[in-house]
């Protein structure tokens, strides 16, 4: 049987994706004494910083009766140039699943091609699918099924934006993306999914009629040196109360965090009642529990 990886949301059928979200909602209400992952071990390979993703995976494994091993580049042989295929083969013989946070998405695909255990994308330059499971769970808990709703993405056409495009397909919602010129998501991805996702430049146009408004930092990890010039390009793309007022009256705001208050989101909106970012952050753990169960207990 071929191994089920989770490199993008498209690795899941719509039914499986919905099942994971529903299971996450259920696991959240269940006391943390389940043992589904007893004797299972998750490897965590992180080439970039993380708070939520790492803690969510480690606590999820512990609460489900399993364990985790964290490998940074600084203190593993991967950081000294051991080939990806060799590392994948060796780790596959010791752990039951591996979550990887890296730069090039191709590196994840390379690792997965040589792994006998499921590989989870814990964020690449192109996609952040774990975050989308939590986002859909969070919207569902507050407003019900996201299917048929309209979501506005404001800002950079980055890994989160591209994951929202995939989510629009898998979870069946309409996505309106507003990006400054030169910062659009991958053209082919947009073109392929043009029945679900549309691209524009005006944030107000994207937000009008939307049920959910989402943004992310203007410079992602690895782009820190671009921050000053990006700040100029994105100056009109801040999500604030004035912009939210253009959305539907019961619209919600989400941000994967970490946020830069006063840049992509105003401080008052992030801390307002329309913002569900803290539930969204907590749901990283519940949705990753559901994902681990789905991948490791098949
Ligand atoms: N949202 C998210 O992935 O956060 P971390 O970078 O802290 O893991
Ligand atoms: N787009 C951001 C997301 C962080 C969780 C980044 O890649 O840095």
Looking at the fold, whether 27 and 92 belong to one and the same domain comes out as: yes
Asked about 54 being catalytic, the answer comes back as no
Pocket residues: Cβ below 6 A from ligand 2: 123, 128, 158-160, 216-217, 220-221, 256
In terms of domains, do 163 and 219 share one? yes
- Could you tell me if 288 and 60 are in contact, meaning their C-beta atoms sit under 8 angstroms apart? yes
Cα–ligand 1 centroid distance for 26 (angstroms):
23
Beta bridge partners of 252: 212
Q: Is residue 4 part of a domain?
A: no
Among 188, 129, 154, 156, smallest CA distance to 10 is for 129
* Whole-number pLDDT of residue 34: 74
Q: Which phi and psi angles does 92 have, rounded to 5°?
A: -60, -25
104 and 224 belong to one structural domain: no
Instruction: Check whether residue 57 and residue 111 sit in a common domain.
Output: yes
Give the residue among 217, 229, 209 at the shortest CA–CA distance from 154: 217
- Name the closest-CA residue to atom 6, ligand 2: 220
Q: Do 120 and 154 have their domain in common?
A: no
Shared domain check, 249 and 287: no
Instruction: Report the residue among 70, 125, 256, 283 best suited for mutation to probe ligand 1: largest number of ligand atoms under 8 A from its CB.
Output: 256
Q: Is residue 174 part of a domain?
A: yes
Domain extent, residue 124, equals 9-128+282-296
| Atom of ligand 1 at shortest range from CA of 281 | 1
Low-confidence ranges of the chain (pLDDT < 70): 1, 31-33
Per-residue tokens: 117: 């255990």
pLDDT of residue 32: 63
Does the annotation mark 93 as catalytic? Answer: no
Q: What is the CA radius of gyration of the chain?
A: 19
Has 128 been annotated as catalytic? yes
For residue 33, the model assigns a pLDDT of 65
Work out which ligand 1 atom sits closest to the CA atom of 48. Answer: 6
CATH code of residue 19? 3.40.50.1370
The pLDDT value given to residue 298: 81
Rounded CA-CA distance 119/123 in Å is 12
Q: How many domains does the chain have?
A: 2
In tens, the pLDDT along 175-198 reads: 999 999 999 999 999 999 999 999
Q: CA–CA distance from 7 to each of 99, 163, 166, 204, 224 (Å)?
A: 10, 11, 12, 32, 25
> Hey, what are 77's tokens?
């042989």
Residues 117, 238, single domain; the answer is no
How far apart CA 168 and CA 48 sit, in angstroms, is 27
84 and 139 co-located in one domain: no
Nearest ligand 2 atom to alpha carbon 160: 1
Same domain, 260 and 123: no
Q: Is residue 2 part of a domain?
A: no
CA of 39 to the centre of ligand 2 (A): 32
Stretch (H or E) spanning 27? helix 14-28
Same domain, residue pair 30 and 170: no
Asked if the structure places residue 3 within a domain, the reply is: no
The answer to whether residues 235 and 288 belong to one domain is no
């Amino acid at each position: 049987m071929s191994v089920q990886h989770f490199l993008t949301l498209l690795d899941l059928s719509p039914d499986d994706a919905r099942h994971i979200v529903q299971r996450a909602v259920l696991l959240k209400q269940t006391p943390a004494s389940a043992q589904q992952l007893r004797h299972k071990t998750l490897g965590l390979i992180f080439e970039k910083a993380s708070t939520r993703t790492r803690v969510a995976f480690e606590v999820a494994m512990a609460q489900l009766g399993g364990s985790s091993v964290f490998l940074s580049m600084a203190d593993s042989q991967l950081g000294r140039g051991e080939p990806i295929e060799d590392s994948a083969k060796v780790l596959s013989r010791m752990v039951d699943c591996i979550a990887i946070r890296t730069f090039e998405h191709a590196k994840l695909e390379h690792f997965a091609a040589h792994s006998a255990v499921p590989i989870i994308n814990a964020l690449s330059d192109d996609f952040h699918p774990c975050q989308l499971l939590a986002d859909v769970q969070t919207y569902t808990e507050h407003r019900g099924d996201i299917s048929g709703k309209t979501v506005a993405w404001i800002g950079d056409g980055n890994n989160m934006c591209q994951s929202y495009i995939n989510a629009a397909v898998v979870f069946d919602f309409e996505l309106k993306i507003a990006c400054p010129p030169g910062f659009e998501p991958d053209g082919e991805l947009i073109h392929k999914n043009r029945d679900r996702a549309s691209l524009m430049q005006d944030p107000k146009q994207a937000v009008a009629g939307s049920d959910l408004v989402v943004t992310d930092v203007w410079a992602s990890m690895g782009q820190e040196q671009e921050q000053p010039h990006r700040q100029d390009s994105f100056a009109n793309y801040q999500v604030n109360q004035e912009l939210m007022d253009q959305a539907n009256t019961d619209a919600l705001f989400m941000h994967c965090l970490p946020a830069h208050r006063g840049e992509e989101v105003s401080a008052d909106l992030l801390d307002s009642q329309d913002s569900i970012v803290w539930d969204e952050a907590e749901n990283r753990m519940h949705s990753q529990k559901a994902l681990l169960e789905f991948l490791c207990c098949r």
